[in-house]
Amino acid sequence: MSDRVYLAVDLGAESGRVIAGVFDGQKVELEEVHRFENGPITVAGTRRWNLIGLWKEILEGLRLSARKFGDRIVSVGVDTWGVDYVLLSKNNELLGQPYNYRDSRTDGMVEQACTRVPKQEIFGETGIQFIQINSLYQLIAMQLNDPHLLAAAEHFLMIPDFFHWLLCGSQVVEFTNATTSQCLHPNRRDWAIELLRKFDIPTEMFPKVVPPGTKLGRIRQEVATQTKLPKIEVVAPATHDTGSAVAAVPTDRTGKSNWAYISSGTWSLIGVEVPEAILTPEALAQNVTNEGGVDGTYRLLKNVMGLWLVQECKRSFEREGKSLSYDDLTQLALKAEGFRSIINPNDPVFLNPDDMATTIQNWCRDHGEPVPETEGQLVRCALESLAFKYHTVLKGIEKLTETPVEVIHVVGGGCQNELLNQFTADACGVPVVAGPIEATAFGNILVQARTSGEIGSLQEMRNVVQNSSELATFEPNATMIWNTIYPRYLKLVNGS
């Protein structure tokens, strides 16, 4: 029998893709079939998803896939970043133009929420970090600004669930992405109804939660007709991109080493996999999060602002007429002086600034750091500051789990940044294994392959990723220097 094919629709911040995974039982070969834009659209000063435009592109990707792989295609599944959602009316009318999480309407909403329900209670009911982008704060903002829209809502779907509904008519929410909403109870694995009621959020709109790997149904006839696909299954992968990426970390086959991961892209998600959510006061104090993963695992992690800093600097340079690739930027950073300027990468001012380069410069000026002037200085400042932050997060997580980390796996587009990989190894004092770039697509595809019975455990999935990827190792070799500078970073971040 010729190799079977699974389709991953991966909607990333820099682009959306339809990727085919050809699986021979040992290895998956990925082929990008269609790539399209997926930036937020600014509409009258707000940031929105372009859902209908994306649907058109997804259909085009499916049509191209059908032409290339025909009857070999088994199933399709959609993933994207967490926290964003749509609301549908009783008759499935889309209510409003769904927001992108970087929209500023959630400014101040975490503080607002915590005056209504104590922080400990919110954390105990959800296990999720306090960060304004979460669906919970988006819903609270909506409840304050547009209560009539919320009152009309009968179906809450997260973005991948919405596309699954368009594909096959199912109306369920997949577990991994549901956890990022901060509306789900971590142990019950169902909606935190009592908590939601305390915020006057209508609870009847929340549908059934299903685990990754669930068959959602066959594609609608209209989709089959338009794309010329056979009536393939729609299978929910870990619809949260980070959930898929961590399911595809190519860990040591013996399962013996204590590994951490950095899912490195627009955000850097740094943490470890744990068998159950950690809900202790220490976890709350560190503001870590417990996101749901494949096979009932949790990702104990922290969001670090990530390569968004570099993406947005790149855009700042473009506005000044300088078009530089990521490789160009890394080369310029490599040549720039080390430890010249340091920032706190997680300062909320970096979440959605008008101009990232200026915002970094202002931050340095305000905190008595030398102001980075050149492109190389700005990017070096961002990368070094990220590596310091990784070190802090890792130390905190080691304390919570009482387990020292022996190796860090960096996966996602950001693992191509060799300079950051070396900084990470140096700052954290452990080896970094970089790759694969397409961890999210691997994870999405392998969960589907498992549902169709072609593969067994999570570890087997990870072995397949290892068979299918080229990995690079970065040994720590300048840890002493990084340790010397670390107190300066801490002083800047903690202000003492």
Taking CB under 6 A as the rule, does residue 239 contact ligand ADP? no
Furthest C-alpha separation in the chain: 66
- Per 3-state DSSP, what percentage of the chain is helix, strand, and coil (rounded to 5)? 45, 20, 35
State the CB neighbour count (10 A cutoff) for residue 79: 32
Reply yes or no on whether 71 is catalytic: no
339 contact choice in ligand LRH, ligand ADP, none (CB below 5 to 8 Å, kind-dependent): none
- Position 328 contacts ligand ADP (CB under 6 A): no
Q: Taking CB under 6 A as the rule, which mask of x and - marks residues 240-269 in contact with ligand ADP?
A: -------------------------xx---
Cis, peptide link before residue 436, omega less than 30° from 0 = yes
Q: Which of 161, 241, 295, 426 is catalytic?
A: 241
- Least separation, in Å, of the C-beta of 269 and ligand ADP? 9
What Å distances lie between residue 96 and 43, 85, 140, 218, 490, CA to CA? 12, 11, 16, 28, 43
The span from the CA of 226 to the CA of 165, in Å, is 16
Interface pattern 66-105 for ligand LRH (x via CB under 6 A): ---------------xxx-----------------x----
Stretch of 10-18, 50-58, 127-135, 400-408 lying at the interface with ligand ADP (CB under 6 A): 10-18
Q: In the range 304-323, which residues lie near ligand ADP by CB under 6 A?
A: 307, 310-311
The one of ligand ADP, ligand LRH, none whose footprint includes residue 416, by CB under 5 to 8 A per kind, is ligand ADP
Q: Give the single-character DSSP code of 350.
A: G
Binding mask 231-270 for ligand LRH (x = CB under 6 A): ---------xxx----------------------xxx-x-
Checking DSSP bridges between strand 432-434 and strand 472-474, what pairing results, if any?
antiparallel
Nearest one of 4, 138, 133 to 453, comparing CA atoms: 4
Sequence-distant (≥ 6) Cβ neighbours of residue 485 within 8 angstroms: 339, 342, 388
* Helix H or strand E segment including 29: strand 28-36
242 binds, among ligand ADP, ligand LRH, none (CB under 5 to 8 A by kind): ligand LRH
Of 24 and 355, nearer to ligand ADP (C-beta) is 355
Q: Among residue numbers 74 through 133, which ones bind ligand ADP (CB under 6 A)?
A: none
Residues 6 or more apart whose CB falls under 8 angstroms from that of 354 comprise: none
Beta partners for residue 8, in sequence order: 19, 77
- The nearer residue to ligand LRH, 74 or 159, going by C-beta atoms, is 159
Q: Tell me which stretch binds ligand ADP (CB under 6 A): 277-285, 303-311, 344-352, 402-410.
A: 303-311
Closer to ligand ADP by CB, 129 or 242: give it. Answer: 242
Q: How far is the CB of 201 from ligand ADP (least distance, A)?
A: 28
Shortest spacing between CB 424 and ligand ADP, in angstroms: 13
Core vs surface per residue 369-391: b (16+ CB within 10 A) or e:
beebeebbbbbbbbbbbbbbbbb
Tokens found for residue 179: 């956890």
What residues does 73 pair with on adjacent strands?
5
Question: What H or E segment, with its residue span, contains residue 8?
Answer: strand 4-11
- Residues serving a catalytic function are 241
Residues of the shown chain interacting with ligand ADP in the complex, contacts defined by CB under 6 A:
12-14, 265-266, 307, 310-311, 326-327, 330, 412-414, 416-417
Residues of the shown chain interacting with ligand LRH in the complex, contacts defined by CB under 6 A:
81-83, 101, 133, 240-242, 265-267, 269, 303
